[in-house]
A and B are shown apart, each in its own frame.
Chain A
Amino acid sequence: MRQNGIVFAALVIVILGMLASGKYLSRTRPHGPLKLVGDVRGVLAPDFTLPSLDGSKVKLSDFRGKAVVLNFWATWCPPCKEEMPWLADLQKQYGKDGLVVLGVAMDDSSPASIAKFASEVGVNYPVLLGTDQVSDDYGDVQYLPTTFYLARDGTIMDKVTGLVGRSEIEADAKKVLNTSYKPISTMQTQASAGGGKTVAVKQAAKGSGR
């Protein structure tokens, strides 16, 4: 009986150790409530206002009507560096069609270092300085790069984590470019005529600009 007690005590110590180390290692900072969890497709992208490298404030919802590629990255992330020139090419090629690439830098480097890095890899789109709050809002963005593809109405069409091929990135960008957006005033008018705001909003989200 005494031997059982010793074995049990040893097991408890080992298990508590596993719990403690797991908790310690799983995070480097506590985070607040996560707004985006699980399958985020079809969910309205959380709005934010972030400072950009040029000193201006950038509000995500100001891009309503545009197709947005929201790319979280960091200067210490080599796979991020690999895809940034591709994103710059997309901005150049499809900017006239309404594509907006927004880079969100998730590191502690100085804005000057981030700007130097972005310039070196040929970034031609706004780079915003990310915060823990925005990371939490987007589901605790830990794995970089992470890219959200936002339809013109601001809903998330896809979330891609890790580096994928250039053609896959372009295909996702084209998908969001091919969405449509009707301003709220138009939707409200339609909703009154159609007997329900919800119906009109769903139609706007599903609509295609092709």
Chain B
Amino acid sequence: MRRRGVVLLSTLLLISFAGAQTFSSIMPVVMAPVGNVQMRPGSSKDVTLDFRVGPEFHINSHTPKSPLLIPTALKLTVPPQITLAEVKYPTGQDESFAFSPDEKLNVYSGDFSIDAVLKAPANLSAGTYPVKGELRFQACDHSACYPPRTIPVQFQIIVVK
């Protein structure tokens, strides 16, 4: 009984710390977890990475309308045996916002996905290959903007014969 009390108290403490951390932080974009990606030697695979932009935010698309605006960009580091053939970005939406009603910006808002096209050579050994990287974006809300930020991206490729 006493042990359960300690467990409960510890849990509540941890939750309160985590809650304070989360609510005091600004997280304009979050990424859905990526499961393990299975590939066979000699194959290619589109790995879809799902992101969500917070309801009050928007971020520049990969191709914003001005060179001064910071594009959303995915940077991945794959093991040398595997090739990152292409990164496919979604088309942004042209939207105008209250801070500049006459100007259209090309943005992502809500949910969006980026596809990473991976290629495994025919002689690739079976095993686990980690992929790491980051998504860089720059977010604004209805009246202001935040500096560019990055969130980590990582998943594993499981190569099976």
What is A's interface to B at a CB cutoff of 8 Å? 4, 8, 11-12, 15-16, 18-19, 21-26, 28, 74-82, 106-107, 109, 113, 117, 142-146, 161-164
Expressed in whole angstroms, the Cα–Cα distance for A76 and B103 within the complex equals 14
Expressed in whole angstroms, the Cα–Cα distance for A28 and B97 within the complex equals 26
Cβ contacts B44-87/A at 8 Å (1 or 0 each):
00000000000000000000000011100000000000000000
Within 8 A of A (CB), among B3-40: 4, 7, 10-11, 14-15, 17-18, 21-22, 24-27
Residue B147 contacts which of A15, A19, A80, A106 (CB distance < 8 angstroms)?
A: A106
Residue A79 contacts which of B27, B100, B138, B149 (CB distance < 8 angstroms)?
A: B100
What is B's interface to A at a CB cutoff of 8 Å? 4, 7, 10-11, 14-15, 17-18, 21-22, 24-27, 68-70, 97, 99-100, 103, 105, 138, 140-141, 143-152
| Residues of chain B contacted by A78 (CB below 8 angstroms) | 69, 97, 99-100, 103, 105, 140, 145
Say yes or no: B144 contacts A79, CB within 8 Å: yes
Say yes or no: B138 contacts A8, CB within 8 Å: no
Say yes or no: B144 contacts A82, CB within 8 Å: no
Of all A-B residue pairs in the complex, the 5 with the closest CB atoms, nearest first, are A26-B25, A162-B143, A162-B144, A79-B99, A22-B21
Say yes or no: A142 contacts B147, CB within 8 Å: yes
Closest residue on chain A to residue B141 by CB atoms: A162
A-B contact pairs, 26 of them (CB 8 A): A4-B4, A8-B7, A11-B14, A12-B11, A15-B17, A22-B22, A24-B151, A26-B27, A74-B145, A76-B138, A76-B145, A77-B144, A78-B69, A78-B97, A78-B103, A78-B140, A79-B99, A79-B100, A82-B99, A82-B100, A142-B147, A143-B144, A146-B144, A161-B144, A163-B143, A164-B143
Residue B145 contacts which of A12, A23, A80, A164 (CB distance < 8 angstroms)?
A: A80
Say yes or no: A28 contacts B145, CB within 8 Å: no
Known: A4-B7, A11-B14, A26-B26. A79 touches B143 (CB 8 A): yes
Say yes or no: B100 contacts A28, CB within 8 Å: no
| Residues of chain B contacted by A162 (CB below 8 angstroms) | 141, 143-144
Expressed in whole angstroms, the Cα–Cα distance for A7 and B70 within the complex equals 42
Residue A76 contacts which of B70, B143, B149 (CB distance < 8 angstroms)?
A: B70
Chain B nearest CB from A5 CB (Å) reads 8
| Residues of chain B contacted by A82 (CB below 8 angstroms) | 99-100
Expressed in whole angstroms, the Cα–Cα distance for A78 and B69 within the complex equals 9
Expressed in whole angstroms, the Cα–Cα distance for A157 and B141 within the complex equals 26
Say yes or no: B100 contacts A22, CB within 8 Å: no
Say yes or no: A19 contacts B21, CB within 8 Å: yes
Q: A25-B149, A78-B100, A162-B143 are in contact. List 15 more A-B contacts (CB 8 A).
A: A11-B15, A15-B14, A18-B21, A22-B24, A26-B24, A26-B25, A74-B145, A75-B68, A76-B69, A76-B70, A77-B145, A78-B97, A143-B145, A162-B144, A163-B144
